[in-house]
Structure 1
Amino acid sequence: MPTDKPKVLFMSGPEYAKDVWNEFIQDFTVLLWEEQSREDFIRDLSSKYDGIQAIYRAANPKYPHYKLGSFDREIVSAFPSSMKIFVNGAVGYNDVAVDVLSEKGILFCNTASGSDNATADTALWLILSTYKNTWQSEQSVRAGVWRDRTNVVGRDPAGDTVGILGLGNIGKAIAVRCKAIGMKVQYHNRNRIDAAEEEKYGVTYKTFDELLSSSDTIVVAVPLTSDTKHILNAESFKKVKRGVIIVNISRGGCVDESALVDAIKAGKVSKVGLDVFEEEPKIHPDLLSNEKHALLPHIGGATVNTFYNFEAIGMQNIKMWLKEGKAKTPINLSAIQKQ
């Protein structure tokens, strides 16, 4: 006897992975979220959306559901008892109450690996831009000024040491690119990777303080958690090599922006390459006014390839968990297994 297909709520319809979507809808009853207020959405979770087993949320500010705000304790607590998996279509998840999902026995997945190449490419661009002073040169050209290149002379990154904070998928992709332009690569992780992987990526492990004091460039590639918030702060900047370059492609909250500005004024930090900011879209005025810095509006993973991957990985997670009890990129699996 045929059974009802599991119900899945998509906060926005797929825009990129249409081929994966066409297969997905054969196995699931898909509901598409209709724009509404946060209060109405919370109400509908116990009525209109009662019985859903999964939610996919594309973490892209262009979609109307972003107006709902964070999927915090208030929203997650309202999830119906039928819920089994929540997928956030992004790598970062600092605006999701993962602890509440775990309390409710709901698997949480991000879409890790989907933006590895795009974000690593952005990190490399920020490194090269700060080394070669491309930003101030471009500004001059656009202003109609053919600047004497001696005024913006840069330096080669080859031979310099880059320290990567967080050697996950994105960190490893950054390491590959930095090795390709001749940089020496070292890293710090909460857990050191095994020797075979260190050899594969040509990286050297350092303690946190060792990395700070010996890196010419520091790239922040850790997820934002309570442990990594302000991982670079006033105390950290006291330990860095004078003239270090700071690159952040993770989350703005990983760097204390006020302390960063103070370190720039003190000459400890020479330049920054930032794709993320602590209170984005607000940016510290001292960063905006200094044309030596390379600043981007959080576009590190913004490619059609990334968005395809996010959608595809999201649907794969839902399908695997509801049909096989497995997932491709689980975050809180161990927490819900303890229940």
Structure 2
Amino acid sequence: MSARPRVWVTQPVFGDVLARLDPYFDVRVEPTVAPRGAGELREGLRDVDGALVFIPDRIDAAAIAQASRLRAIANVGVGYNNLDIAALTAAGVLATNTPDVLTETTADFAWALLLATARRVTEAERWLREGQWTTWSFELMLGRDIHASTLGILGMGRIGRAIARRARGFGMRVLYHNRSRLPPEVERECAATFVARNELFAHSDHLVLVLPYSPQTHHAVGAAELGRMKPGATLVNIARGGIVDDAALADALAAGRIAAAGLDVYENEPAVHPRLLALRNVVLTPHIASASEATRRAMVALAVDNLVAALGAGPHAGRPPNPINADALLARGPRSA
């Protein structure tokens, strides 16, 4: 009788959910949450058939080349720029992600950042905690209105549309730009108007970034784009680090070329550009847009379902719900047992 497939989980999360792997596989779960360097990732993948990984785990071509047994990677997250998809596909390794289950929670958080940024919530709290509030002033911490303003959305996928729907309650005008225009019925549902990219930067009072990261979107928002924004505008990024040129953003914030920014993602996270840390007019959170307990549990559960099916087990064997690179099945040849 052949040995059971081996699975590696790179973080200890929701043990009761991970336990759903046990009937099918020999499972090794890392005991601590810690950054996994390239060498540790290569070693961890070397002798396993599948892995459940997270956004900080950068699975590169070198790791894939040494993972002779590997057949499936289940990424816990919508974005997957941490995975070398071309190398996985060439090696016949199926990759999956976890879309949909985090859409509404992430859209909620975009609004939390938007409101905190426009109304200077974290700046005001810091100022108060520092003991600087000694008298009330009529012009204290003047911010920007959300209601009846113009919301711009760059990237109108599921999350962008959920953000737009919430804008109705604030009586906002919604503009968006996307690689392709949405169908008219979806535009009506979101009460959103398609505009050219430059117009979006020029006319938005509050601009939210919801782009997927790719080499094509690297530094999609840099000095030129920030220069087109209104001096009183705010920028929110809940998408991926690297979409914004963090150094250019720090320049714009320090010079008052835009009013404020709310950031949940960064170019070199968990490192944050030191000039952003020093600025008062930026709200900073540690990549937590999808971090409600219910949603994070749902993400892990979906990743488990993906991994079980991708490794040919369970009721949906061979048919994972969310394949990224279905072509990997065509490239798959016999791999070492």
TM-score range, shorter chain: 0.7 to 0.9
Say whether residues 1:212 and 2:201 are aligned partners: yes
Name whichever of 262-271 and 299-308 sits farther off: 262-271
- Counterpart residue number, 1:25: 22
Say whether residues 1:329 and 2:322 are aligned partners: yes
In structure 2, distance between residues paired with 1:201 and 1:269: 26
Say whether residues 1:122 and 2:109 are aligned partners: yes
- Counterpart residue number, 1:106: 93
Q: Decide whether aligned partners of structure 1 residues 204 and 326 sit closer, same or farther in structure 2, where only a CA change above 3 A counts.
A: farther
Match of 2:62 among 49, 60, 74: 74
8 A contact 1:10–1:30 mirrored in 2? no
User: Partner of 1:315: helix, strand, or coil?
Assistant: helix
Say whether residues 1:240 and 2:239 are aligned partners: no
In structure 2, distance between residues paired with 1:276 and 1:98: 22
- Counterpart residue number, 1:304: 293
1:277-326, CA deviations, whole angstroms, 9 ceiling, x for partnerless residues? 22334333443333232222222222212320121110121233324432
In structure 1, distance between residues paired with 2:22 and 2:266: 38
User: Partner of 1:170: helix, strand, or coil?
Assistant: helix
In structure 2, distance between residues paired with 1:273 and 1:40: 33
The number of residue pairs the alignment matches comes to 322
8 A contact 2:93–2:328 mirrored in 1? no
- Counterpart residue number, 1:62: none
1:133-180, CA deviations, whole angstroms, 9 ceiling, x for partnerless residues? 212221232223255252212232111111111122222222222332
In structure 2, distance between residues paired with 1:312 and 1:292: 38
- Counterpart residue number, 1:56: 52
Say whether residues 1:9 and 2:5 are aligned partners: no
TM-score by length of structure 2 reads 0.84
> Residues 131-210 of structure 1 correspond to what in structure 2 (within 5 A)?
131-144=118-131, 145-146=133-134, 147-210=136-199
Q: Decide whether aligned partners of structure 1 residues 151 and 171 sit closer, same or farther in structure 2, where only a CA change above 3 A counts.
A: same
> Residues 275-294 of structure 1 correspond to what in structure 2 (within 5 A)?
275-294=264-283
**Equivalent AA in structure 1 for residue 86 of structure 2:** D
In structure 2, distance between residues paired with 1:297 and 1:12: 17
User: Partner of 1:150: helix, strand, or coil?
Assistant: coil
In structure 2, distance between residues paired with 1:37 and 1:294: 29
User: Partner of 1:86: helix, strand, or coil?
Assistant: strand
Displacement after TM superposition at 1:122 (Å): 2.0
8 A contact 2:51–2:73 mirrored in 1? yes
Displacement after TM superposition at 1:228 (Å): 0.8
**Equivalent AA in structure 2 for residue 90 of structure 1:** G
8 A contact 1:12–1:32 mirrored in 2? no
In structure 1, distance between residues paired with 2:14 and 2:214: 30
User: Partner of 2:88: helix, strand, or coil?
Assistant: helix
Q: Decide whether aligned partners of structure 1 residues 34 and 136 sit closer, same or farther in structure 2, where only a CA change above 3 A counts.
A: closer
Q: Decide whether aligned partners of structure 1 residues 14 and 299 sit closer, same or farther in structure 2, where only a CA change above 3 A counts.
A: closer
1:22-49, CA deviations, whole angstroms, 9 ceiling, x for partnerless residues? 55433x1232145798546635645x43
**Equivalent AA in structure 1 for residue 217 of structure 2:** T
Displacement after TM superposition at 1:195 (Å): 1.9
In structure 2, distance between residues paired with 1:164 and 1:338: 38
In structure 2, distance between residues paired with 1:240 and 1:39: 43
Q: Decide whether aligned partners of structure 1 residues 43 and 231 sit closer, same or farther in structure 2, where only a CA change above 3 A counts.
A: closer
1:10-32, CA deviations, whole angstroms, 9 ceiling, x for partnerless residues? 3345416x2x5455433x12321
1:44-100, CA deviations, whole angstroms, 9 ceiling, x for partnerless residues? 645x43xx2x211144xxxxxx6xx521111122222x4332111122222221111
Q: Decide whether aligned partners of structure 1 residues 223 and 161 sit closer, same or farther in structure 2, where only a CA change above 3 A counts.
A: same
User: Partner of 1:254: helix, strand, or coil?
Assistant: coil
In structure 1, distance between residues paired with 2:94 and 2:137: 57
Say whether residues 1:271 and 2:268 are aligned partners: no
Q: Decide whether aligned partners of structure 1 residues 260 and 25 sit closer, same or farther in structure 2, where only a CA change above 3 A counts.
A: same
**Equivalent AA in structure 2 for residue 25 of structure 1:** D
In structure 2, distance between residues paired with 1:282 and 1:10: 24
- The alignment yields a C-alpha RMSD, in angstroms, of 2.8
Name whichever of 135-144 and 251-260 sits farther off: 135-144
Unaligned runs of 5+ in 1: 60-65
**Equivalent AA in structure 1 for residue 235 of structure 2:** I
